[in-house]
Amino acid sequence: MKKLFIIFLLNIALNPILFSQVEKTHRLTIKEIKLECAKINKTLKGFQNSDEKMFTNIRVTEIEVDKYKSNNHPGLGANNSKTTLYYLLEEHDDRLIKIEHVNAVAANNSYNEYYFEENQLIFYYEKTDFYEERMYFNEEKLIEFRYNKEKIKSDNLTKEHYGKAGETKDASKKRCWY
């Protein structure tokens, strides 16, 4: 009986420590994702603001629909879409690091960003005229979903969130093949 009581006390004492480690790891992961995205953006900003000779290790591919904005889409109105893919050139392969997609269709404008690390989606951002959405991924698994100001962490994610994350991962893979 005395052993069970000691085990019970140890369990109570260690439980908060174990739970705080899980929460701390999650925050570190989000923090690391934010730092990686900031690093990618800093590299790309340096590339865009400098002589191209300095950045021979970055390749940019742009795909634009209705580049001249002719507005000649009956029933739709304006339909302008641009996807920009940023690659980091490595010795044997190009590694996708970011995708930007801007879509301006008459009544709905959207801006999307996909960030990759080691060819895996780590962060997704979407802003439309109506909402803002962020998804954080760890090893291609959704770990946090933000809709406008609401944060939904992995413990409270629903099938709907995972479904949206799956659609986002599929869309990022489709955009890679332009």
Who contacts 109 (Cβ-Cβ below 8 Å, separation ≥6)? Answer: 102, 103, 128, 129
Q: Which residues contact 78 (CB under 8 A, 6 or more apart)?
A: 66, 69, 71, 104, 105, 106
pLDDT in tens, the chain (178 residues): 555 445 555 555 555 544 444 444 555 689 999 999 999 999 888 877 766 555 568 888 888 876 556 655 566 666 778 899 999 887 777 889 999 999 887 777 899 999 999 889 999 999 998 999 999 999 889 999 999 989 888 888 889 989 988 988 888 877 654 4
Q: Where would I find the H helices in the chain?
A: 2-48, 159-175
Contact indicator for 112, 128 with CB cutoff of 8 Å: no
Query: What does the domain layout of the chain look like in residue ranges?
Result: 2-175
Tell me the CA distances in angstroms from 140 to 60, 122, 145, one per residue in order: 24, 7, 13
Q: Which residue has the tokens 């580049």?
A: 67
